[in-house]
Amino acid sequence: MTPSTSADSGLATLLAVQRKAFQAEGPPSAEERRADLTALHGLLVDNRRAIAKALREDFGARSAYETEIADIATTLHTVRFARRHLAKWMKPRRRSTGIWFVPAGNRIIPQPKGCVGIMVPFNFPINLAVGPLTSAVAAGNRAMLKMSELTPAIGELFARLVADRFSPEKIVVVNGGMEVSQEFAALPFDHLLFTGSTAVGRHIMRAAAENLTPVTLELGGKSPVIIGEDYPLARAAQRIVWGKLFNSGQICIAPDYVMVPEGKEREFAAYAQAAARKLYPKLAGNDDYTAVINDKHYQRLTDTIADARAKGAVIETVADPAESRPERKLPFTVVLDPDDDMRVLQEEIFGPLLPVKGYRSVDDAISYVNEHDRPLALYVFSDERETQERVLEQTTSGGVAINDTLMHYMQDDMPFGGVGPSGMGVYHTEEGFNTFSHNKPVFRQRGIGSFTGGQLLYPPYGPVTRVLLKLMEKI
């Protein structure tokens, strides 16, 4: 059976085949799961050049080094970490037993949910396919993956590579347009993970609800940066601009806007532009600088700049956009004096634009963050522990990095996920294993309890029952 590529070509059949195989064979052993993870690892190692080439074809210009960093090296770490810790994660976990039920015992047994669906976005299609797939495989599941229609080259390549190493009864990759995505989201999976925009996430959750399919949503939003008064602006600018321009800002956890002490906005902007010029001395013909994925997204970004300019913002860019437009390489652009009625502060940017706002106090910055949707990531730059802890305690976000950007995603033993409009649920590490597992509680009656059980609480009720209930309230 070959991977499906159209809405009427049998997605439901593919899922039925996987479910039948899962029911027939049951949960795979630790050895089988390790073998599957090893096969995933080998798929990446053996095909890293082909993957970089396909991504370059899809983007028009995609840095091979960024592909290696984000889609290959980081993903290989994720797979190796899961393979190394798999046996520990699979072990039943003891739980305490209430004194009234001793000598009975309690434990939690993790078991695979069955067949899971994974919907992959365009920005890091290998990492955001293999990352959650690693969690699903470690937990013992079968999996179907739907690749983004915006990256057909990598979608077709990945489908072929997976088909070479796995039977469709175990893992299958499908491609196609929006109609395929809609059909995919409506399948009765045992779990569905979607990575993408908040707006699309609402539709995915609505479709999954028809089957009562549990979902993990990895969304996005506006990830803020707060720079403390004590932190050197030049140092902060270098790390923020790197995080902003990696993959040309097409990252769900990219720094979306920066808050600096009032009066230092233009100073920070100057440092940020200098950092951008140092990282990317030129754009046109620069293999290090990744293009915006397509003309539609490029136009969306230029429209966002035009909207900000028309409403009074000051726009500063490091290069002439016209020179690099044929390659869809949008220059790093700072937006000064932004207002909340501008699109640049209303919508997730997903590109190399950086609004800079001033704040009077850290408490004002915290209040501004809390007045908006909870972000997927939050960045705070300060060497003062008091400032760090105040921001951590008084804000809610999917994850946090202190004095850096993006790096929290790359930590093998840290879960990744959003909160509220930025998502729900997590993957990576043991928490990801748990996401794709049913942690089944088991009560085992034993010893004297095997004869008496809870029979002292059986009817007919009377004085003994009343005494026992009073004792249970006290002990």
Backbone angles phi, psi at 290, to 5 degrees: -85, 145
**Cα distances (Å, whole numbers) of residue 323 to 61, 80, 285, 314, 331:** 15, 43, 10, 21, 10
Annotated catalytic residues are: 218, 252
DSSP string, 215-226: EEEE-----EEE
Q: Which residues in 314-447 belong to E strands, given as ranges?
A: 314-317, 333-336, 353-359, 377-381, 399-402, 416-417, 423-424, 426-427, 437-444
* Region class of 120: left (phi > 0), else alpha (psi between -120 and 50), else beta: beta
Instruction: Indicate the burial class of 459 (C-beta count within 10 angstroms; 0-12, 13-18, 19 or more).
Output: exposed
Tracing tokens 């196609």 back to the chain, one arrives at 176
Locate 395 and state its tokens. Answer: 């804000």
Q: Where are the alpha helices (DSSP H) in 352-475?
A: 362-370, 385-394, 429-435, 449-452, 463-474
**DSSP 8-state assignment for residue 28:** P
Query: Could you tell me if 154 and 178 are in contact, meaning their C-beta atoms sit under 8 angstroms apart?
Result: no
